[in-house]
């Protein structure tokens, strides 16, 4: 696959990113694609490795190694190297409905498992994928392809995030009539309002939604099933219903002073910022304010980058867990997912603007300190000791950090009860919708589930996988068999 000696002949070169001081002036994507010739060289680095761990999607030591979609990575890398970009797009779309999303927001499990990464730098799989799909759109390879025959079956998909979109696309391809319901004013779910514009510009989502509409899928927005429309009405109207509403319950912080003004969940803060960009609504503004982000994951990093673009006075990111090593530990060998510390775009921008990484490790909130008008003015933190396995507060380690804005980015707890109760579906102890292991049908006849609502908070690539697998089960339920991949 690729050039046999490509991994020896060419070094890994990534799409260059704009200088942090320049890119914080806007909310646009900030990486410049390589030339077509340079991209061919990067694809040529794909080895004829014999066992492509990149596409395996197998669990190793509790974490997945390789692509959950089992993308045919060596095949389309070879096609890119040889210049057959249309064929590369065909092979890419064989397993992935939305490469334009995953090539922007996926943490690239494929690259972490790349054989080239064992003794050197992995292939730029994610950026190769980006080049393939964007070239396909620009060259006109991507066109509406509605089914030639309709089955007469009707399916409702509740939620238009990546799992709902994937299920809708697959079932429409099969010939079923699909209607997607979205409670927000734009389709896309967390792709639209949970992921910042600088990682995924919203016209990219609109482009895909328009294509799906041209293929016959109906989208109904501003419709909150379980509130504005009764669940029973949906179940009665359709032959099958897929719940793909996400894991929408943010994990809260229980500390004194939690009722202070100025404390927001990260998803609400990011959503408000995106809404201000797409519809000129008023954002939760952190300009000239001291901001503390509570949570060290990708969402916390997105809050850091967004706050800096607002023009915050200072930024601190609290991370409860200890700092990960900068390189793989001996007990974390390839091809396991590398448990290492990464400096993401938000932290890079903090370093450029404020001169330091915003993260403070092994620290949690002890108290939200309010002023006389119940507004947040500071946060009292405490350091944590993990020597006994479980975190223990270190006596006398309290510190006070000025803060007028606190953003809680501590993850999500599961599905929202008003939806699950409206449909009468069972949930497990984590409030995810309950099904048999490896299945997507709920305890309610005709009702299925997929994505974060089913598996809990996860990655876009897993949501797409769940949507595709759920579509196969729904198709079998409706037709008695399925020919969906």
**The last residue of a domain, from among 379, 408, 437:** 408
pLDDT digits (tens, 9 = 90+) for 16-50: 999 999 999 999 999 999 999 999 999 999 988 98
Instruction: Assess whether 244 and 271 both reside in one domain.
Output: no
Residue 143 resides in a domain: no
**The last residue of a domain, from among 355, 380, 408:** 408
At 305 the pLDDT is: 98
Instruction: Assess whether 14 and 127 both reside in one domain.
Output: yes
Q: What is the DSSP string of 183-219?
A: SSSSS-THHHHTS-TTTS-HHHHHHHHHHHHHTT-EE
The SS3 call for residue 129 is helix
At 444 the pLDDT is: 98
Residue 50 resides in a domain: yes
93: left (phi over 0), alpha (psi -120 to 50) or beta: alpha
Instruction: Assess whether 475 and 421 both reside in one domain.
Output: yes
Q: 386 is in which domain, residue-wise? A: 263-408
pLDDT digits (tens, 9 = 90+) for 407-420: 999 999 899 999 99
Instruction: Assess whether 403 and 418 both reside in one domain.
Output: no
At 3 the pLDDT is: 84
**Angle CA 459–464–470, to nearest 5:** 125
All residues at 6 or more sequence positions from 241 whose CB lies less than 8 Å from its CB, including other chains: 155, 156, 157, 158, 234, 235, 423, 446, 447, 448
Q: Which residues, in sequence order, are bridge partners of residue 181? A: 158, 220
Instruction: Assess whether 291 and 397 both reside in one domain.
Output: yes
Q: Residues 33, 130: contact at Cβ < 8 Å?
A: yes
- d(CA 110, CA 124) in angstroms, rounded, equals 9
Residue 22 resides in a domain: yes
Residue 176 resides in a domain: yes
At 282 the pLDDT is: 82
At 48 the pLDDT is: 82
Instruction: Assess whether 106 and 27 both reside in one domain.
Output: yes
At 283 the pLDDT is: 85
Instruction: Assess whether 11 and 127 both reside in one domain.
Output: yes
Instruction: Assess whether 20 and 125 both reside in one domain.
Output: yes
At 1 the pLDDT is: 61
Q: How far is CA 347 from the centre of its chain?
A: 19
Q: Residue 393's domain is classified under what CATH number?
A: 3.50.50.60
**The last residue of a domain, from among 138, 171, 205:** 138
Q: Residue 72's domain is classified under what CATH number?
A: 1.10.1060.10
At 186 the pLDDT is: 96
* One-letter-per-residue 3-state SS of 214-273: HCCCEEECCCCECCCECHHHHHHHCCEEEECCCCCCECCCCCECCCCECEEEHHHHHHHH
Comparing CA positions, the residue from 42, 60, 56 lying closest to residue 116 is 42
Instruction: Assess whether 13 and 118 both reside in one domain.
Output: yes
Low-confidence ranges of the chain (pLDDT < 70): 1-2
Instruction: Assess whether 330 and 447 both reside in one domain.
Output: no
Domain count of the fold of the chain:
3
CA dihedral 332, 333, 335, 339 (to 10 degrees): 30
Instruction: Assess whether 108 and 55 both reside in one domain.
Output: yes
Instruction: Assess whether 309 and 395 both reside in one domain.
Output: yes
The SS3 call for residue 64 is strand
Q: How far is CA 21 from the centre of its chain?
A: 26
Residue 442 resides in a domain: yes
Residue 20 resides in a domain: yes
Give the CA distances from residue 473 to residues 90, 166, 195, 433, 450, in Å, rounded to whole numbers and listed in that order: 24, 13, 29, 16, 11
Residue 441 resides in a domain: yes
């Amino acid at each position: 696959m690729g050039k046999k000696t490509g991994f020896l002949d060419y070094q890994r070169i990534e799409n260059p990113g704009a200088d942090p001081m320049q890119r914080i002036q806007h909310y646009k994507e900030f990486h410049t694609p390589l030339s077509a010739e340079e991209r061919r060289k990067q694809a040529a680095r794909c080895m004829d490795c014999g066992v492509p761990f990149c596409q395996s999607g197998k669990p190793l030591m509790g974490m997945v190694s390789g692509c959950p979609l089992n993308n045919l990575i060596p095949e389309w890398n070879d096609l890119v190297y040889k210049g057959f970009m249309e064929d590369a797009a065909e092979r890419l779309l064989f397993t992935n409905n939305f490469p334009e999303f995953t090539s922007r927001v996926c943490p690239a499990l494929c690259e972490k498992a790349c054989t080239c990464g064992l003794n050197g730098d992995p292939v730029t799989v994610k950026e190769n994928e980006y080049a393939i799909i964007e070239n396909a759109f620009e060259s006109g390879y991507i066109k509406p392809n509605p089914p030639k025959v309709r089955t007469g079956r009707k399916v409702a998909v509740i939620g238009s995030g990546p799992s709902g979109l994937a299920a809708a696309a697959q079932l429409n391809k099969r010939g079923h009539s699909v209607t997607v319901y979205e409670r927000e004013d734009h389709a896309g779910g967390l792709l639209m309002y949970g992921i910042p514009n600088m990682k995924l510009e919203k016209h990219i989502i609109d482009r895909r939604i328009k294509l799906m509409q041209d293929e016959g899928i109906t989208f109904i927005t501003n419709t909150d099933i379980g509130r504005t429309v009764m669940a029973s009405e949906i179940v009665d109207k359709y032959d099958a219903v897929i719940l793909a509403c996400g894991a929408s319950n943010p994990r809260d912080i229980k500390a004194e002073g939690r009722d202070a003004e100025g404390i927001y969940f990260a998803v609400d803060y990011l959503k408000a910022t995106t809404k201000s960009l797409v519809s000129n609504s008023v954002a939760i503004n952190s300009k000239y304010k001291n901001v503390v982000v509570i949570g060290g994951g990708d969402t916390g990093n997105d809050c850091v980058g967004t706050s800096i673009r607002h023009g915050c006075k200072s930024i601190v990111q609290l991370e409860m867990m200890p700092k990960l090593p900068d390189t793989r530990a001996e007990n974390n060998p390839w091809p396991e997912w590398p448990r290492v510390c990464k400096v993401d775009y938000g932290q890079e921008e903090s370093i450029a603007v404020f001169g330091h990484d915003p993260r403070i490790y092994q620290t949690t909130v002890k108290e939200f300190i309010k002023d006389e008008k119940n507004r947040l003015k500071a946060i009292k933190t405490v350091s944590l000791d993990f020597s006994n396995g479980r975190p223990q507060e270190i006596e006398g380690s309290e510190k006070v950090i000025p803060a007028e804005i606190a953003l809680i980015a501590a993850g999500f707890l599961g599905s929202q009860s008003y939806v699950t109760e409206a449909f009468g579906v069972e949930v497990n102890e984590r409030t995810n919708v309950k099904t048999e292991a490896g299945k997507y049908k709920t305890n309610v006849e005709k009702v299925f589930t997929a994505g974060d609502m089913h598996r809990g908070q996860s990655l876009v690539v897993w949501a797409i996988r769940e949507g595709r697998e759920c579509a196969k089960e729904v198709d079998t339920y409706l037709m008695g068999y399925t020919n969906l991949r």
